[in-house]
Each structure stands twice: as structure tokens, then as C-alpha cells.
Amino acid sequence: MSPKTAQASLFDDALNPAPASPLAESHEPRPDPAVVTGKPAGGYSAKDIEVLEGLEPVRKRPGMYIGGTDERALHHLFAEVLDNAMDEAVAGHAKVIEVTLDADGALTVRDDGRGIPVDPHPKHPGKSALEVIMTVLHSGGKFSGKAYETSGGLHGVGVSVVNALSERVEVTVFKDGAEWRQSFTRGKPLGPIENIGPTRKKGTAITFLPDPVIFGEGAVFKPARLYRMARSKAYLFGGVEIRWKCDPSRIQDQTPADAVFRFPNGLADFLAERIKGLETVTPEPFTGRYERPGEAGKVEWAVAWTPAGFGEADSFIQSYCNTVPTPEGGTHESGFRAALTRGLKQYAELVGRSAAGSSRPTTSWPRPAASSASSSATPNSRARPRRSCPPARPSVWSKRPSPTRSTIG
């Protein structure tokens, strides 16, 4: 495989993740069968009912939260933290996100946004808002839509799950002229939040090291995979710059140790890179962005048609909602398809290409040999708790025209 082909395949895997793998068995310690003697008693009463508190459910059943304990699940921890930083960028409060993989395997994601709140939480005496966010499931500022108009997270379980499944976590917050820090291990605080001193910086830095008890000894972040994930996020929002840095000792392939990702044209830049060198029906991809005046939410798209196709595949489409991949589609993707098909039909009628002998477009007509990407942003107050429905950002669609059908446009 040529370097260019390898690079393209890595890029595609990052932007269009494969379906979730089967749940892997948790490495959480379980009772030794040799110690358990006799058969369970036949009784079943109140004393047999367990109540898991805090982050215990996450450590007992990680598959319920991150899809398993395999390599894909391991890297999902990074996605959760990166999504939070992206939410700050999309909200207009952050411009730069830094991703750093250290020599010891710890990963740091830092943004220059508003910073996680550190003041005391009114409903949890003696705890800061930071500690509540890190240790309590379903806590966060994305439920009402007041702090975030749109966001990738909807349930308030992201960073607390990362905390629960990490051997160690250190959170540093630069907020209101001071630097604050708190450390955790396996979901539990090692001490109260500390005021480190004055600073002019702003934002949040989260450093975490996955727990080998959960993911197994030797489970480590793969620099190439982190690199692709970071780059793909930069394509989904043109207003952010993502800086990648990795200790050279962690790299076993051609992954750069340093890189800066910034794509002002968003999806258009992604599609241009994806179809570079291919013959296209139109000189430039069909791209656009729309926001309803006076309303929250927006949609962005990029579409191109090529006679060359994409190997064994006639076409591809990739969609996102609030910068989160939606491989199973959703209302944002189906709406995009319907709108594009309707536009093609109307143009065909306008230029007289829909008469007998010419094929009339149907809902599936624009697929063959096309490539497209679409991304939508949906207000949190309207977003449904489905990965495919919340606000989306870009979607990409590429297609190859069939020689048996008339080509329009």
C-alpha cells in the first residue's frame, strides 16, 4: 500500500468510524471462583438488592458507557474529552485546542475556553462544581441550553466516565484570574480542589491515564489513531485550531510528533482532500452553509460527483451532528438527502431534462458515484437523546454519475 493510500485510509477510518465492536469483557476484578463454595441459596430478599453509588456502575459495567473495554472503547475516552473542548469552540468561547500524548502514556486535552466552574455547588455542600462534574453521573451544563446553545453531549456522563475508568486524572482550570487543580484516581478525588495561584490564562486542561484494571495491562493510546481523531474534528468546525503533540518515544509509525490542524472552509476542505486527484463532474464541489435568521442551529454540506468512483464503492456519505459522527444517519442526514434530491428534480424540470427518455431522479438517484458530507447543529433544548439526532455539523457525499442516466448540472 502506497503512503498516500495508507494516509487516505487512516483519514477515512477516523471520519467515518466503523460500527461498534462487540462488547469486550471487562477486566474489572471479580470474585475468585475457587473462593466461592456451595450453590447460591434459593432465597431472594431485600438483602440481595445492591445499590451502586457514584461512579461504581461505570466501573462495574464499562460496556454500558463506552461500548466495551477494547481498543475502540479505550480511544472513546479521548473522544469524550475532545468533544467537551469542541463544544466550547463551537459556542464561540475557545479558539485553540491542544492534544498532547506524554512519554508515560498520559493524554492531555486543553482548551482556551471559559473553564469548568470551580465555585461551590449549591446542591452539593462542600464540593466544587468541578468535583461534581467529575464524580457525579448526569451532571453538566448542557441540559437546559443556557450555557451551551448546541453541544455534542446530552447526558452529562462523558467526562465523569473518563474519570471513573482512568487510573489517574488531573484537572487544571484557569478561570477568573486563578489557576485551580484537582486530582482523582479511579473516579475518586485525592483531595479538595486547590488554588495554585494567580494567572492570566483561561480554559481547562484534563490529563488522564486509562486504568489497566479496566482495559488490561499493556493497553495504551495509539498515536496514529489520536492524530486522525484530532484532525477529523478540526474539519468539522472551521473556527478552531487543534494542535497535536506526541512524545517521539510513543510513535512506532509515520505519525508526526507535531502538527497543527486548521481548516477555515470546514467540510469543503475535507471533501477537497478526500477527492484530490479525481476527475469531477463540476469544477468545484457543491458546498454551502445555512442558518435560520433568529433561530439557533445550522447546517453545512459539501457534495461532489466523479465519474471515477471510489474503488469498490460507488459513493460515500458521512454525516455529523454537533461535531459527533452519526454513522447510522438521522433526521439531519435524511433531510439533506431529500433536499438535494428535490433540488435536482426541480433543476431537471427547469432545463427540460425530465421528459420521456430521461431518468427522473428519485430519493436514491443521486447516490451512485457521489461523495458528500453534511454536518448539522441542533439546539440542546430540541435535541433528542440519540447519537444520530442531536445538532450536527458537516456531512459529505460523493457520487459517480451512472452512464445509463442523464447527468444534470
Least confident of 24-33, 298-307, 360-369: 360-369
Q: Determine contact, residues 267/396, Cβ cutoff 8 Å.
A: yes
Arithmetic mean of pLDDT, 366-376: 57
* Of 140, 117, 91, residue with least CA distance to 202: 117
Which one has a higher pLDDT value, 408 or 177?
177
- The DSSP result for 177-204, as a single string, is TEEEEEEEETTEESS--EEEEE-S--EE
Tell me the pLDDT band of 402, cut-offs 50, 70 and 90. Answer: very low
pTM assigned to the model:
0.76
pLDDT score recorded for residue 110: 98
Give the pLDDT confidence score for residue 40 in this predicted structure. 62
| pLDDT in the model for residue 391 | 35
Residue bearing cell 471520519? 15
Would you say residue 368 has pLDDT above 70?
no
pLDDT, tens only, 67-88: 999 999 999 999 999 999 998 9
Domain covering 267-399, topology? Ribosomal Protein S5; domain 2 (3.30.230)
| Mean pLDDT for the chain overall | 78
pLDDT higher at 261 or 371:
261
Query: In 3-state terms, the chain is what percent helix, strand and coil (to 5)?
Result: 25, 25, 50
d(CA 179, CA 381): 32
- Least confident piece of the model among 107-121, 200-214, 224-238, 314-328: 314-328
pLDDT one-digit tens code per residue, 237-285: 888 999 999 999 999 999 999 999 999 998 889 888 888 888 888 888 8
Question: What crossing angle do the helices spanning 267-274 and 223-236 adopt, rounded to 10°?
Answer: 130
Confidence category of residue 377, pLDDT binned at 50, 70, 90 = low
The whole-angstrom separation of Cα 10 and Cα 228 is: 7
Q: What is the pLDDT of residues 124-153, one digit of tens each?
A: 788 899 999 999 887 654 444 544 444 444
CB-based contacts of 141, cutoff 8 Å, min separation 6:
117, 147, 148
- Closest C-alpha among 176, 160, 179 to residue 54: 160
pLDDT for residue 180: 97
Least reliable range by pLDDT among 34-38, 101-105, 111-115: 34-38
Q: Given this model, what pLDDT does residue 20 score?
A: 45
Share of the chain above pLDDT 70, in %: 70
Residue 11 pLDDT exceeds 50:
no
- Listed by start position, the domains of the chain span 3-11+52-261, 267-399
- Check whether 321 has a pLDDT greater than 90: no
Q: Which of 192-206, 266-280, 372-386 has the least mean pLDDT?
A: 372-386
Q: 252-256 long-range CB contacts below 8 Å, 24 or more apart? A: 252/223, 253/223, 253/224, 254/3, 255/223, 255/224, 255/227, 256/227
For residue 381, the number of C-alpha atoms closer than 13 Å in the C-beta half-sphere is 8
In terms of CATH architecture, what is 3-11+52-261? 2-Layer Sandwich (3.30)
- Name the least confident of 26-35, 225-234, 254-263: 26-35
pLDDT at 354: 65
Please give the pLDDT value at position 204: 97
Identify whether the C-beta of residue 358 lies closer than 8 Å to the C-beta of residue 406.
yes
